[in-house]
Amino acid sequence: GQQVMQIPQYQHVQEGEDFTTYCNSSTTLSNIQWYKQRPGGHPVFLIQLVKSGEVKKQKRLTFQFGEAKKNSSLHITATQTTDVGTYFCAGTQGGKLIFGQGTELSVKP
């Protein structure tokens, strides 16, 4: 079955530093979604990527979908304390949304 691997599991950065999390799938993905979960909260949808090589930006967040549609990344430029949380990627297959293990980001002021 489809497996989605995400690294790193944890990332501690100084405020202002950049942050990147990577997502890899064992199979070709039809699309990939990214979510953010604040501590104690529930996952909140950020974005969906569909096309091979697609790049989308949301303010300081840049999302990429690999050419082979088997990997993706989320890059945050100049992190802020409001970026704290766990970032998940998720791939869809036949109605199922399969999540990676997530990357927990902590930001030191």
Partner 1 sequence: NAGVTQTPKFQVLKTGQSMTLQCAQDMNHEYMSWYRQDPGMGLRLIHYSVGAGITDQGEVPNGYNVSRSTTEDFPLRLLSAAPSQTSVYFCASSYSDRGIEGAFFGQGTRLTVV
> Of these, 12, 38, 57, 96, which contacts partner 1 (CB under 8 A)?
96
C-alpha dihedral sign at 4, 90, 34, 32: positive
20 near partner 1, rule: CB under 8 A: no
Complex with partner 1: residue 60 or 99, whichever CB lies closer: 99
- Give the other-Cβ count within 10 Å of 72's Cβ: 27
**DSSP one-letter code for 83:** G
> Of these, 43, 61, 71, 83, which contacts partner 1 (CB under 8 A)?
43
Residue 47's region, left for phi above 0, alpha for psi from -120 to 50, else beta, is beta
Binding mask 51-90 toward partner 1 (x if CB under 8 A, else -) reads -------------------------------------x-x
Complex with partner 1: residue 101 or 106, whichever CB lies closer: 101
The pair of three-digit structure tokens given for residue 36, joined into one six-digit string: 């953010």
- Smallest gap, in angstroms, from Cβ of residue 99 to partner 1? 4
Which residues would be at the binding site for partner 1 (CB under 8 A)?
A: 1, 6, 9, 30-31, 33, 35, 42-48, 50, 88, 90, 92-102
